[in-house]
Amino acid sequence: EHTSPLFASIRDVVRFIKGSISDADTVATALEGQEAVVHLAAETGTGQSMYEITRYVDVNVGGTAVLLQRIANHPTTVRKVVVASSRAVYGEGKYIDSEGNEVYPRTRSAEDLRAGLFEPRCEKTGAPLSAQATDERSRLDPSSVYGITKLNQEQMVLTVCGAIGIGAAALRYQNVYGPGQSLRNPYTGILSIFSTRILNGKPINVFEDGRESRDFVYIDDVIEATHRALFRPTSSGHAIGIGSGVATDVLTVARSLVALYGREVPIEVTGAFRVGDIRHNYADLALARRLLEFSPSVSFEQGLATFAEWVKRQEVSEDGYDRSISEMAAKGLFRQ
């Protein structure tokens, strides 16, 4: 914790307990006298979860069980629990076909990806599908162990808390970014990966054709949504999508970061792919607006500029990207 920007920012503001969500004694201590719980503790690497299966299930599902076990079986002052879920619970998310029908495509096959057929296609006609904003009624079809554990977490929290009369909400965060995120962990998202590679003078490797897209939501907006979910009774009993509502493709992200850092590094669109990766997903915010009166206030351009300025002030060490790719390749999950 001595090198963590997050720890430095909270050290003199809150009570800090170093421990594991999987440890019952630590959880019991943390819950003493608390009226609300924001449960963020989790392992977060989508690709890594496909071979570190026991660890992801033990921490994400088992740790949530430890938390709920304590709340359910001991006198408690807790009145509200908000758990961090993820857009990963949807897998690919919602699409429409050429006739306007709602479609939920299967996970793309390695054969199609190897052939450069990156866009999900209609099973009947073979025509490309059109990505749509994914709402909370969309099919839940996680394509990774991580996504499965996040779905387990939200179901456990909503079910147990609902049964014992404690308010609970699950927030399905899209790709959260901003100052304070780890620049050392290659499993925490492409903004960190791309930033460390640019500042180390290394080329950026963009998977597929670079047109795969994600919904990047700035940390301040996520904090605002979480605060609203915590204090608004209307959130209880619901899983709610939280994002920017805008899809941004990965090639745009790479080019924007290169420009912001003012470094000339190659952007290599490789055609390589990770088995199980989704192509597109972005949030439909209608439910968040209705239940939380939440709308994001930070555009991707504004947020990315602020993030880049923060990164410039950090000590950027050697990135772990190559190691993470080697690990996934050894497991058959990364292919070229």
Residue among 56, 95, 146, 177 flagged as catalytic:
146
Judge whether 255 and 211 are in contact, CB under 8 Å. Answer: no
Q: Is 177 a catalytic residue?
A: no
| Tokens found for residue 189 | 């998202």
Number of neighbouring beta carbons within 10 Å of residue 154: 24
- Burial code (b: 16+ CB inside 10 Å, e: under 16) for 240-278 equals bbbbbbbbbbbbebbebbbebbeeebebebebbbbbbbb
| Tokens found for residue 258 | 């290169």
Distance CA 164, CA 59 (A): 23
**Cα R_g (the chain), whole angstroms:** 20
Give, as one character, the DSSP assignment of residue 62.
I
Angle at 330 between CA 327 and CA 334, to 5 degrees: 80
Distance CA 153, CA 168 (A): 12
Distance CA 178, CA 321 (A): 19
Helices 190-199, 250-261: inter-axial angle, 10-degree rounding? 40
Judge whether 177 and 298 are in contact, CB under 8 Å. Answer: no
β-pairing verdict for 267-269 and 204-206 = parallel
Judge whether 333 and 324 are in contact, CB under 8 Å. Answer: no
Distance CA 336, CA 294 (A): 41
List residues with catalytic annotation.
146
